Amino acid sequence: MYSFFTAFDPYLMLLCFTGAAMGIIWAALPGLSTTMAMALLVGLTYRMPTELAIIFILGTFTGSVFGGAISAVLINIPGTPDAVPTQMAGFPLAKQGKGGLVLGMSITASMVGNWVGILLLVTCVSYVLDIALSFASWEVALLALWGISISGTLTAGEAPVKGWISGWMGVLIAMVGREEIHGIERFTFGSQELLLGIPYIPVLIGLFGLTEIIMVLSQPQPYVIPQKIGRIFPSIKQFVKYWKSILRSSIVGLVTGIIPGAGANVATFVSYGLGERFTGKRFSKGSMEGVVCSEVANNANIGGALLPSLVLGIPGSATVAAFLAALNLHGIVVGPTIELEQPGIMNFMYGTLIVANIGMYICAFLLIKPSVKLFSLPRELLLPIIALLCVLGSYAQKMSMFDINLMFGFGLLGFFMRKADIPIGPMILGVVLGNMLDQNFRRAMVIFEDKSIWQVLVERPMGTVLIIIVLITFISGIWPKKKKKLL
């Protein structure tokens, strides 16, 4: 029998805190993603009692969701794809000596995002599920299209076309390999290594990690993150003034998490984009509010992703799919009857998320000063360490030398893209979401084969709304620039 208060047992809390600390450290290392951490834990927790396995995995999950922000802010290399918007808004501030405060704001935003996500998860289950269930292949494809488009608009400054080109290059990369619907090989050029596609981990590490190393080496006087940490705890007034962005980003994170396949990648970019539109600021020049938007959505997404997974048995993301696999190993079958078969387990999950959130907050603040000290080392010491981590991170996923070669190739590509002022972030999102866009779009075309475009627009109102949003994204990205030229 499970209960809410079981999660507050001292031993279980200690185990959860340990998991949170491990998750933070893991995700802060380039290429070691949350999904990889969860996948590795599935086997490791097999012999644990069920309560211990659940609380340890959720602690690691919560910690690793924040952990990617550490390297994103301090060395301009996001530990996970979800941390790219945090990198764009936080790294310029770190170069000004505000790295400690930016991380403190990130931790606070992560905690608040988790709290709001848990609260909405408990109170708004039925309402949000109605929205999620209206998303079929057509709507999911359009959501992926919007995520890629808005990331291109946001990251390219005065030239959004460059951002869109970067995003669609990422989609093209995602299409390499044997596609999953008909099993047809695409862009493999006879290579056996490319049959399974190009994994996003080497792409992420190459475009951000190796590219950053090359950029630093090419500068006569490379930037140095100041060792003076200064204030790390943001004041209540300093944080609360962003209450509108906090509320908006929490809703974006929760709803996006509920939609199967969308995940935190879409949530952080959409929240970041909406933040810029509502505030009229350019977060990429350095903005605490941009960090808040990204981190709140990223962590509110946890509660959202768990909701359809536990209630309907539909994983909200690859990370949660690994969590469901762990539950299955322990004989817990998720779905509408989960409360009947495992009485009290949902309340235990709520309590576990609260404990994990507290553990993440405490452990993260304890790790700020060591992190800043580590990443403030002289470049001649730090760069070889980062290069080694890049190689290990690329190799770790499949133990393949081919992935290391991919990492080096994308590192060179990222260097030339940076020199040409083409943003890298949209390409990463295109690689991550490209497969989802491709499969769902083609599946929708099969479903709508005998219907006219007008029937689709009328019968799928949510899809029609998303089409309008995508068009507005493209038009708003181009129109102000044309208007300025006419003047």
Q: Which two tokens stand for residue 305?
A: 């992703």
Q: Could you list the pLDDT tens digit for every one of the 487 residues in the chain? A: 678 888 899 999 999 999 899 888 887 776 566 766 776 676 677 778 888 888 998 898 888 888 888 888 887 777 777 888 888 898 888 888 888 888 899 999 989 888 887 887 777 666 655 666 667 788 888 878 887 787 666 665 567 888 888 888 888 998 898 887 777 888 888 888 888 888 877 887 788 778 878 877 776 665 555 566 667 788 888 888 888 889 898 888 887 877 765 667 778 888 888 888 888 888 888 889 999 999 999 888 887 777 767 776 666 566 776 777 778 777 887 766 677 777 888 888 888 989 999 999 999 988 887 877 776 667 667 778 778 877 887 887 678 888 889 989 998 998 898 888 888 878 877 887 788 788 888 888 888 888 888 888 888 888 888 889 888 878 877 775 444 443 3
Question: Is the residue at 160 inside a domain?
Answer: yes
Question: Is the residue at 258 inside a domain?
Answer: no
Q: Which two tokens stand for residue 447?
A: 């479903």
Question: Is the residue at 406 inside a domain?
Answer: yes
Question: Is the residue at 259 inside a domain?
Answer: no
Question: Is the residue at 326 inside a domain?
Answer: yes
- Token pair 């999911």 in the structure block, residue: 140
Q: Which domain holds residue 297?
A: 4-252+265-486
Question: Is the residue at 260 inside a domain?
Answer: no
**DSSP state string for 258-299:** HSTTTHHHHHHHHHHHHHHHHH---GGG--HHHHHHHHHHHH
Q: Is 203 left (phi over 0), alpha (psi -120 to 50) or beta?
A: alpha
What is the rounded CA–CA span in Å between residue 296 and residue 288?
12
Question: Is the residue at 257 inside a domain?
Answer: no
Question: Is the residue at 88 inside a domain?
Answer: yes
Domain count, the chain: 1
Handedness of CA 51, 56, 59, 61 (dihedral sign): negative
Give CA separation, 164 vs 158, 215, 223, 474, in Å: 12, 23, 29, 9
What is the rounded CA–CA span in Å between residue 57 and residue 46?
11
